[in-house]
Structures are given as structure tokens and as C-alpha cells.
Amino acid sequence: MSTYQVGYFVGSLSSTSINRILSRALIKLAPADLQFTEIPIGDLPLYSPDFDADYPPAARALKEAIGRASAVLFVTPEYNRSIPGALKNAIDWASRPWGQNSFNHMPAAVIGASPGQIGTALAQQSLRGVLSFCNARQMTAPEAYISLRPGLITDDGEVTDDSTATFLSDFMREFRDHIERVLTVLPRD
């Protein structure tokens, strides 16, 4: 059985992030052949092309972490109906310098949680557009817009509702199958 290294991004810098809580649940519910490492985004300076000739250590670490991954998972809030700036900044760093786009052909999936009813749908739509331009190989379905009411997932990632747990574990199983399909056609070096 192959093991796939999944690098995951939490699109929130909040110390009480519900998306980090969601990421814990996803890791617990994922198939055993997925192994997870968070790719941190909080220490990155704002991207500028001025850095292209000599990336700072945090940005080098970001690109190296993506380089070690077989796939990437984005677990993100919605900010003002779009992608949180910290996450977009990380993607911009990873996509450059020109010709060294870290997301090229990378298997990817997007999910997010909000307290509201639309569960980050618009942020995910924005993110999907960005990842398309970056040529990431996204899982298109299932989509997952998680409306996270208090208590649905405990702080350490236990899902308290059976249908939500089934939905999230199905999502991760589909992601695993998607990774396998993409890497069969487009193996990473």
C-alpha cells in the first residue's frame, strides 16, 4: 500500500480557529494511508517580486514543505466572501518565482468551515480559481461547505454528529482516491 504525504494549509491565523478544529477532525477520519503535515503560513512576510532572486527563510521553508508533499489540502475560512489574505499570500509565494510554481500538477482539495449557513462556499470558489491558474489538480467533487455550530466538533477533533462524521470521512476517502488517480498519471519526482 502506498502512503501519501498530505501537506495541509489552515487558512486562519486565529488561535481559536474553527478551521483548525475541522482539520483535526479530517485527519482523524482520513484513510490510514494518508499522512498529514501542516504547512504553516503565519510567519511569511508579504510577497513581493523583489524577493524572487533570493527568497527569505520562511518562504523557502514553505516551498520545501510543499515539495515534500504528495498532495495539498486547504482548510480555510471565508473572509469578506473571499480567501483570507494570509492564505492568498502563501499561495502567491508558493507559485513563484516564475517557472518554479510549487502547485504545478499537485493533487489538491479544498474545504472550509464558517459559523454561517454558506460554509465558506464563496471563499472556496475564489480559491478554486486561484488553484486552477496555479495548475493544481483539484478534486472537483465532493464539495464540502461546513456550517460549524458550537459542539459539532470538539476542540481535539471528535465529530459529535454521525452524519457529519460520515460526510467528512467520505470526503477524505474521495480525496485519497483522487490523489491516487492524479499521481498515477502525473507522478511527482
Beta carbon nearer to ligand FNR, 39 or 78: 78
Grid cell at residue 180: 491516487
DSSP 8-class letter at 169:
H
67 binds ligand FNR (CB under 6 A): no
Strand, coil or helix: 46: coil
Locate cell 486552477: which residue?
132
Beta carbon nearer to ligand FNR, 19 or 70: 19
The CA-atom distances, in angstroms, between 68 and each of 110, 185, 186 are 19, 19, 16
Beta carbon nearer to ligand FNR, 67 or 129: 129
77 binds ligand FNR (CB under 6 A): yes
Grid cell at residue 187: 507522478
Site for ligand FNR in 134-173 (CB under 6 A): none
116 binds ligand FNR (CB under 6 A): yes
74 binds ligand FNR (CB under 6 A): no
107 neighbors 113 (Cβ within 8 angstroms): no
Among 18, 27, 39, 73, binds ligand FNR (CB under 6 A): 18
12 binds ligand FNR (CB under 6 A): yes
113 neighbors 146 (Cβ within 8 angstroms): yes
Beta carbon nearer to ligand FNR, 70 or 126: 126
Rounded distance, CA 93 to CA 48, Å?
Answer: 8
19 binds ligand FNR (CB under 6 A): yes
Q: Which residues bind ligand FNR (CB under 6 A)?
A: 12, 14, 17-19, 77-81, 114-116, 118
